[in-house]
Amino acid sequence: TALIQCIHNNTIPSDFDEDLVQCGIHQEVLKLRSEVEDGKRIGFLGIHSESDYVEANDVLFWSGPESMFEVGRYGPIRPEDRKTELNFSMKNFIYDFEPAEWSYDVDEKILGDCQLIDITDDATGEVHSEAKKHTPIYVNEIGHNTNLCANVRIMHKNDRSVYYYACIEKENAMKKGDCVELLVDYGKLYENVRERKGYGVANLYGNVGDDSDRGAKLQRNFAARQSIESEISKLSVVRLYYLAEFLMERIFPEINESIEDIFRHHVPSQLKSRFLVARRRLHWIGERLEQQLEKCFGSLQRVYFSSKFITSFQNIIHSFKWSSLPGVFSAIQDTASDIPNICAKDCILNEISEELLYKVSNIIPKPFDTKIWSQLGNLLIESVTKKIA
């Protein structure tokens, strides 16, 4: 009737929803909802109040696989939460592997590439504000703790969206008043994150240190650098450009702004080590992009691209070079970082030292590994690399 009236008056709404008009159930729900006082509606549809129910203190609550209820959507929350595996791996490395703690792979491809759901901010590497409004990010995982029981299932929808569902098994049924922590099993793909945090299989049973163990962290970081170099070495000019464009538009601006702010006489009492490390890693990736670009052009691919495109591409890569590093280094001599007992200057020195040690990793195996190197040897490695840095 409403639609006919709109047609008669020539006032058809621009947001007309045909499915909504055809659904008579919707009108019935609205009618039932209007019969319940505001503020007292409960349930998904809001057509009931608490007075519609009776207390049953002796009834146990459980929700097996057949009756799981949705905790919420993990991601993607925003369009930019969808990333190719290549773009995500670069971002993950730049932000010192924190994004890996908040990501899932899904079956859907993006332009033929594997896709990951990443709910961290491209500008900071931390969980973005929209994701923090959703319950799933507050669900912890069981890891390898046999005393914990997963009561949340991970479900994928449409091969691209990740949802959490609560599943309280019958043997763990709850009485009225019981509380239980929601726990999920992230599976094998999360193992590298567990190792960095110290509760992976290698930590528990293989005597491997977490990221507070400098030697163990270096070996994991070396493997990541090797993987990045391998991935970049396979890229064509076009795919190199897409990667550089992603870094330039989504990662570089905020990081660069935080560094350039130092030269505007706004040096804070404490600097975020995240941005110092991230800026240096962008520089390191830029060098690899430049090398691969020259390699591609050396194989006569240059003739297929206009000089304008080539110049634009080279300008992007040049932006990644941290040419202001000497000035920054002088400006932050006495500035603290957000890492206890490590000043901002040492954050940069440690990062450059890692680059140097990676270059000579075939000559100096497993630096800072106390099972191989003596205390004196490790002190010598640190002293020499910091001098060079």
Closest CA to 78 of 175, 161, 200, 170: 161
What confidence tier does 188 reach under pLDDT thresholds 50, 70, 90?
Answer: confident
Q: Give the model confidence (pLDDT) of 192-242 as tens digits.
A: 999 999 999 999 999 899 999 999 999 999 999 999 999 999 999 889 999
Tokens of residue 80, six digits: 């930019």
Average pLDDT, the chain: 87
- Which pLDDT score is estimated for 309? 81
What's the CA angle centered on 122, arms 316 and 233, to 5 degrees?
50
Task: Give, in degrees to the nearest 5, the angle at Cα 249 between 245 and 255.
Answer: 120
Edge-to-edge strands, sheet with 103-110:
82-84, 113-118, 103-110
Contact status, residue 172 vs residue 165, Cβ threshold 8 Å: no
Q: Which of 4-13, 140-149, 339-348 has the highest mean pLDDT?
A: 140-149
Handedness of CA 95, 74, 114, 237 (dihedral sign): negative
Those residues with Cβ within 8 angstroms of residue 90's Cβ, 6 or more apart along the chain or in another chain:
228, 243, 246, 247, 251, 285
What pLDDT shows up at residue 311? Answer: 85
For the cut 50, the answer to whether the pLDDT of residue 7 exceeds it is: no
Least confident window among 81-85, 246-250, 280-284, 384-388: 384-388
What pLDDT sits at residue 114? Answer: 94
Question: Looking at the predicted structure, is the pLDDT value of residue 320 above 80?
Answer: yes
Q: What percent of the chain has pLDDT over 90?
A: 58
Residue 152 in 3-state DSSP? strand
pTM: 0.83
Q: For position 263, what pLDDT does the model report?
A: 65
CA gap 344, 357 in Å, rounded: 20
Token readout for 27 is 């009108």
How does residue 3 score in pLDDT terms, banded at 50, 70 and 90? very low
Share of the chain above pLDDT 70, in %: 90
